[in-house]
Amino acid sequence: MFFRNEVPTLGSDRAMLKKYFSYILVAVMTTGCSNVNHVGSLVKEEFDAHSQSFKFVEQVRKADRVAKFENRSTSYAKNLKYGYFEEAYTYVQYRGGGKVAPIPASVAMHRIHSYKVLSRLVSDSGREARVVAAISYYDIDSGTLIEIIDEQSWWFAEVADRWFLENFTPIGSEMVQD
């Protein structure tokens, strides 16, 4: 409405100039500064003045990532417990994007007896996590019960918006045996 009223008296160029004068002034002032550090300090002061609102947004994002981690790691544990090893193996992805080796065939010869999470820790940034779990499983052929401590390293992929596991549970190789 304002723009249409001013066009007949000022012309379209002058009306645009009047409407966006403050934006143009800031742009001219920042491009005319010979000292880039001065402009940087102004931006830093503005950021510091509003940093609490940015921290709130980051806290919400972190809480969302933590909730996704809880769901993802619980789902991984359930897949292991019920013997869906190939499904659990889909959670593995290397950070560098390297190809994950195929699941060992020997894994199918084992059944999980118990899976107990000993500790679950998410980093302050909310982008890395660690789970330590005690897993006891038995070999189908021999019936031998084996207990291992599985140390899982998880990482959050921003682009995929999901958590990935860096290593697969070493079922079939005795790390700790009672």
Per-residue model confidence as pLDDT tens digits over 82-95: 989 889 889 999 88
SS3 154: strand
What was the pLDDT predicted at 16?
64
Residue 61 pLDDT class (50, 70, 90 cuts): confident
What was the pLDDT predicted at 122?
93
What was the pLDDT predicted at 11?
64
Q: How many other C-beta atoms lie within 10 A of the C-beta of residue 21?
A: 10
Per-residue model confidence as pLDDT tens digits over 100-120: 888 888 888 889 999 999 999
Give all domains of the chain, ordered by start, each with its CATH number.
12-44 (no CATH), 53-165 (3.10.450.50)
How far is CA 40 from each of CA 28, 50, 54, 175, rounded to the nearest angstrom?
15, 15, 18, 54
**Nearest-CA neighbor of 155 among 98, 94, 99?**
94
Cα–Cα dist 81/26, whole Å:
61
pLDDT over threshold 50, residue 176: no
What was the pLDDT predicted at 114?
93
Which of residues 2 and 40 earns the better pLDDT score?
40
Helix ranges (DSSP H) in the chain: 2-10, 12-19, 21-32, 36-49, 51-81, 85-89
pLDDT over threshold 80, residue 63: yes
pLDDT over threshold 50, residue 178: no
Torsions phi, psi for 18 (to 5 deg): -65, -40
Per-residue model confidence as pLDDT tens digits over 19-46: 776 666 666 666 655 555 555 666 666 6
What was the pLDDT predicted at 177?
33
What was the pLDDT predicted at 36?
53
Per-residue model confidence as pLDDT tens digits over 121-169: 999 888 999 999 999 998 888 888 989 999 999 999 988 899 999 988 7
In eight-state DSSP terms, residue 101 is P
